[in-house]
């Protein structure tokens, strides 16, 4: 990390002391908002002022975010440890400076996805039983699951009523069995999403599903009901996937950044390519906003600086995602993987230990339900937990009255988190609701008082649509990238995850051998490994 950056870090640290010592609630700054066509971002409920945010914005200037992003989209090997390009934004819009061969592959890829999805939706491409598909099962884990699931559930209003999309993400076959019991093997398409096509989960799930399909057909044609999305097409061929049913992806596409590609073919079939293209267009708008907007009016830059600020100077260890739209209830799962797998690192880009705390625990839940579970901790606990409150202006299903009620809850908690609940307000509430219950007045009033000063961002979508969702998710991608630059780490590798996969295969082979030779139980095997 360069000296100028470190000097600026120290200056900001000195400035934060007055906010930590202040007992007053932070005042809403009306300048702290940014608006795009689809998204309104309000960050006025944070513990800083104009003077401090300028110092934070200077960090963005020092690390030269925009030029680094240009290197990324132009095809430089920014994933240094794996010597790979990082080109997921090209799936939204290809940079004119990008290698022409890569551009053509992306163009051909999109064309194939459009044709394949249209053929399946129209019935031109049929199952082994010569019937139209009624169900699709997307099989994948991690980046091959969380994002697709989140987007599909968010855009269910746009999905086909003729074809239902399901997911298998667990190696525990209980999940698989429960789903298969509901499906017709003659009209179910299985999409196996795996970059390597060598993971235990992938191989075992395919074996079990093939056994299930064999009960309804001869062995020669059941593989018509499989699609594969992979970088390793040779392994997919070995497992019996037809060459025409393989969608090729590339080493420059990380799993948690892959929802813009053929990894989402199940989603594309469900919502149609037209809607998927709108999803891409929304992300492209976010890309333009990120690359062209000044830092003080740049949503992902501000989001990243806020997160960095609370982690570095206030010791915050987590960040909370609170969508108030039911459809968005799986969004935090995707953001969790995106941020924690990207920035949960202790080494910088050069492999040296970093002194700062990098990465946050990202968690959350549906806002309206969470009000009755963990909001007590937000309001009255003594932990610093920055949060993003997310809602659309319009109802997802047309019931605006219910949505207005939802919106009132959204606003009430934002206000109380920021402004608190004073002694005067607590006293008035006690007299109105609790004075006739024989309770200790002083004790109740003290418990009703809230200090406020809890940081929270408000994110409003004009409407939950393919375009607005694409824009929102891309903003979180860019936020993650900027955070990586601020910490000086590589946001695009995940070596710890890879180690876990390799070790699991080794242990699995040991277990099978131990059970075959010595008939050992799982308990005995576990004790041997853990002692």
What is residue 180's three-state secondary structure?
helix
Residue 219, pLDDT above cutoff 70: no
Q: What was the pLDDT predicted at 23?
A: 53
Q: What was the pLDDT predicted at 28?
A: 60
| pLDDT, the chain, mean | 91
**What is the torsion angle, in degrees rounded to the nearest 10, for the CA atoms of residue 294, residue 299, residue 303 and residue 306?**
50
Q: What was the pLDDT predicted at 170?
A: 74
Predicted TM-score (pTM) of the model is 0.94
Which of 447, 86, 394 has the alpha carbon at shortest distance from 256? 86
**Rounded distance, CA 122 to CA 127, Å?**
13
CA 32 and chain centroid, separation: 25
Residue 63, pLDDT above cutoff 90: yes
- Grade residue 218 by pLDDT with cuts at 50, 70 and 90: low
Q: What was the pLDDT predicted at 160?
A: 86
For 319-339, what is the mean pLDDT?
Answer: 96
For 199-219, what is the mean pLDDT?
Answer: 79
* CA distances from residue 93 to 115, 203, 249, 343, 489 in whole angstroms, order as listed: 20, 34, 17, 25, 26
Q: Name the β-bridge partners of 227.
A: 191
For 461-468, what is the mean pLDDT?
Answer: 96
Active-site entry in 372, 432, 517, 519: 372
**Rounded distance, CA 312 to CA 454, Å?**
16
> For the chain, what's the residue count?
531
Backbone φ and ψ for 347, nearest 5 degrees, come out as -120, 145
Q: What was the pLDDT predicted at 312?
A: 92
- Grade residue 1 by pLDDT with cuts at 50, 70 and 90: low
Active site residue 289: no
Active-site entry in 126, 156, 394, 501: 501
CB of 132 closer than 8 Å to CB of 184 = no
Q: What was the pLDDT predicted at 528?
A: 72
Residue 196, pLDDT above cutoff 90: no
For 335-353, what is the mean pLDDT?
Answer: 94
The H helix count followed by the E strand count for the chain is 20, 11
Instruction: Dig out the tokens for 253 from the structure.
Output: 């596409």
Which of 424, 425, 328 has the alpha carbon at shortest distance from 370? 328
- Which tens digits make up the pLDDT trace of 391-428? 999 888 777 888 899 999 999 999 999 889 999 999 99
- Which tens digits make up the pLDDT trace of 423-464? 999 999 999 999 999 999 999 999 999 988 899 999 999 999
Active site residue 372: yes
CB of 253 closer than 8 Å to CB of 196 = no
- Which tens digits make up the pLDDT trace of 258-299? 999 999 999 999 999 999 999 999 999 999 999 999 999 999
Q: What was the pLDDT predicted at 527?
A: 74
- Which tens digits make up the pLDDT trace of 9-18? 888 888 887 7
Q: What was the pLDDT predicted at 103?
A: 96
- Rounded to 5 degrees, what angle do the CA atoms 429, 431, 435 make? 120
Q: What was the pLDDT predicted at 198?
A: 79
Q: Choose between 425 and 27: higher pLDDT.
A: 425
- Grade residue 367 by pLDDT with cuts at 50, 70 and 90: confident
- Grade residue 27 by pLDDT with cuts at 50, 70 and 90: low
Q: What was the pLDDT predicted at 387?
A: 96
Active site residue 341: yes
Radius of gyration of the chain (CA): 25
CB of 383 closer than 8 Å to CB of 377 = yes
143 CB-side CA count, 13 A: 26
Phi-psi category of residue 310: left, alpha or beta, with phi > 0 → left and psi -120 to 50 → alpha: alpha
Phi-psi category of residue 197: left, alpha or beta, with phi > 0 → left and psi -120 to 50 → alpha: left
Instruction: Dig out the tokens for 446 from the structure.
Output: 């003290």
CB of 87 closer than 8 Å to CB of 252 = yes
Which of 374, 373, 379, 371 has the alpha carbon at shortest distance from 451? 379
- Which tens digits make up the pLDDT trace of 95-114? 999 999 999 999 999 999 99
Active-site entry in 201, 341, 471, 477: 341
Q: What was the pLDDT predicted at 188?
A: 95
Backbone φ and ψ for 97, nearest 5 degrees, come out as -85, -5
Residue 220, pLDDT above cutoff 70: no
Q: What was the pLDDT predicted at 200?
A: 74
Q: What was the pLDDT predicted at 32?
A: 94
- Which tens digits make up the pLDDT trace of 108-166? 999 999 999 999 999 999 998 999 999 999 998 888 899 999 999 999 999 988 999 99
What is residue 525's three-state secondary structure?
helix
């Amino acid at each position: 990390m360069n000296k100028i950056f470190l000097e600026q870090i120290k200056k900001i640290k000195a400035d934060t002391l007055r906010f930590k010592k202040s007992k007053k609630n932070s005042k809403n700054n009306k300048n702290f908002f940014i608006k795009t066509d689809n998204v309104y971002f309000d960050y006025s409920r944070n513990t800083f002022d104009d003077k401090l945010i300028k110092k934070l914005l200077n960090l963005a200037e020092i690390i030269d975010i925009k030029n680094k992003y240009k290197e990324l989209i132009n095809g430089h090997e920014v994933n240094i440890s794996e010597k790979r390009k990082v080109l997921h934004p090209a799936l939204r819009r290809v940079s004119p400076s990008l290698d022409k061969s890569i551009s053509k592959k992306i163009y051909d890829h999109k064309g194939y996805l459009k044709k394949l999805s249209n053929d399946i939706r129209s019935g031109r491409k049929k199952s082994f039983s010569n019937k139209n598909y009624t169900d699709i099962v997307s099989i994948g884990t991690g980046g091959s699951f969380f994002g697709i699931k989140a987007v599909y559930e968010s855009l269910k209003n746009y999905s086909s009523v003729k074809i239902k999309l399901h997911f298998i993400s667990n190696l525990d076959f209980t999940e698989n069995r429960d789903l298969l019991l509901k499906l017709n093997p003659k009209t179910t398409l299985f999409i196996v999403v795996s970059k390597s096509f060598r993971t235990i989960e992938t191989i075992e799930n395919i074996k079990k599903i093939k056994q299930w399909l064999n009960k309804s057909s001869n062995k020669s044609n059941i593989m018509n009901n499989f699609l594969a999305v992979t970088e390793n097409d040779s392994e997919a061929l070995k497992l019996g996937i037809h060459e025409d049913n393989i969608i090729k992806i590339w080493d420059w596409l990380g799993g948690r950044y892959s929802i813009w590609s053929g990894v989402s073919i199940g989603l594309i079939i469900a919502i149609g390519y037209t809607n998927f293209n709108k999803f891409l267009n929304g992300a492209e708008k976010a890309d333009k906003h990120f690359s062209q907007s000044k830092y003080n009016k740049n949503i992902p830059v501000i989001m990243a600086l806020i997160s960095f600020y609370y982690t570095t100077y206030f010791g915050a260890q987590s960040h909370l995602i609170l969508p108030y739209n039911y459809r968005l209830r799986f969004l935090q799962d995707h953001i969790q993987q995106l941020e924690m797998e990207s920035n949960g690192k202790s080494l910088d880009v050069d492999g040296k230990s970093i002194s700062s705390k990098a990465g946050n625990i990202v968690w959350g839940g549906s806002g309206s339900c969470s009000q009755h579970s963990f909001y007590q901790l937000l309001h009255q606990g003594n932990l610093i937990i920055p949060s993003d409150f997310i809602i659309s202006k319009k109802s997802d299903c047309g019931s605006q009255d219910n949505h207005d009620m939802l919106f009132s809850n959204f606003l009430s908690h934002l206000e109380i988190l920021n402004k608190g609940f004073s002694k005067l307000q607590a006293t008035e509430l006690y007299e109105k609701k609790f004075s006739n219950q024989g309770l200790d007045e002083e004790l109740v009033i003290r418990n009703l008082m809230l200090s406020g000063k809890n940081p929270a961002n408000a994110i409003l979508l004009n409407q939950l649509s393919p375009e607005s969702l694409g824009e929102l998710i891309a903003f979180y991608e860019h936020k993650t990238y900027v955070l990586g630059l601020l910490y000086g780490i590589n946001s695009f590798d995940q070596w710890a995850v890879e180690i876990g996969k390799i070790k699991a295969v080794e242990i699995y082979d040991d277990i099978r051998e131990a059970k075959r030779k010595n008939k050992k139980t799982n308990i005995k095997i576990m004790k041997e490994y853990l002692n």
